[in-house]
Amino acid sequence: MKLLRYGPTGSERPGLLDTQGRIRDLSAIVPDITGAALSPANLAALAAIDPETLPLVEGDPRIGACVGQVGKFLCIGLNYSDHAAESGMTVPPEPVLFTKATSAIVGPNDTVRIPRGSTKTDWEVELGVVIGTAVKYADEAEAEAAIAGYCVINDVSEREYQLERHGTWDKGKGCDTFGPLGPWLVTADEVGDATALGMWLEVNGHRYQDGSSSTMVYKPAFLVSYLSQFMTLHPGDVISTGTPPGVGMGQKPPVYLKAGDVIRLGIDKLGEQRQPVEAD
């Protein structure tokens, strides 16, 4: 099942993508696609609905972030050994955790804005994990059961802010528009094995990233279990699980985003994003 949110920024409505790729309105069933809608029981109830009985959304509406009212936007760094190598770093003995501000979240096709004065804004295609059941001190089986679904994330990053301005990575990760989510939240049952998905990203038609979630060091169920040792994970929380090689910082010489660029990225089974780039 593919769930989504559509409509103007701040006024998104819940939807479901039918088998023909058309948006069906879910407003009469749930108020929004948020943590409250993502419990196993609620997802089972949505899956039991015949999409043909839902109103068809006409036209080509804006697609919003696939999860609304995200409580925590947690991210894992250096989770692909080949990306760590291109960054001149080693895979850590435990996952690296940082956060993105929830104010960074935008729709999958919304504009990415380069912060004022930035010269090192970069891209990262990532597999997003969406929590559907609250978990604390979970083992991996409990963690796996707590995953409602998956989505595409572009972990947009300002490398100077992240690596050269001292302190934590967060200041280079949470700028406005640095967290496109979607287009769909694809439920875990439809995705199946999330550790074998092709991942790619292009800038202006040139493919920079062409990898697979199979090369993740720490897999989704482990990450959910690991994070739950430090904090309760709540329905609607989002975890961005790291990126394969091919980021701008790793090019020789480095390549960074500039106004006028267009980013396209996607993950098998999870859909594609397309973001124009503008200066803030």
Looking at the structure of the chain, the number of domains it has is 2
249: region left, alpha or beta (phi > 0 left; psi from -120 to 50 alpha) = alpha
- The reply to whether 139 and 28 lie within a common domain is no
In a domain, 64, yes or no: no
The single-letter code of the amino acid at 5 is R
Q: So what's the pLDDT on residue 107? A: 98
Instruction: Check whether residue 80 and residue 45 sit in a common domain.
Output: no
**Domain containing 132: what range?**
73-279
Predicted pLDDT at 167:
79
pTM assigned to the model: 0.96
Low-confidence ranges of the chain (pLDDT < 50): none
Give residue 158's pLDDT: 96
Q: In what order do the strands lie in the sheet with 147-154?
A: 23-25, 13-17, 2-6, 185-187, 147-154, 125-131, 238-240, 73-77, 96-99
16, 143: one domain: no
20 and 154 both lie in a single domain: no
Model pLDDT, residue 176: 98
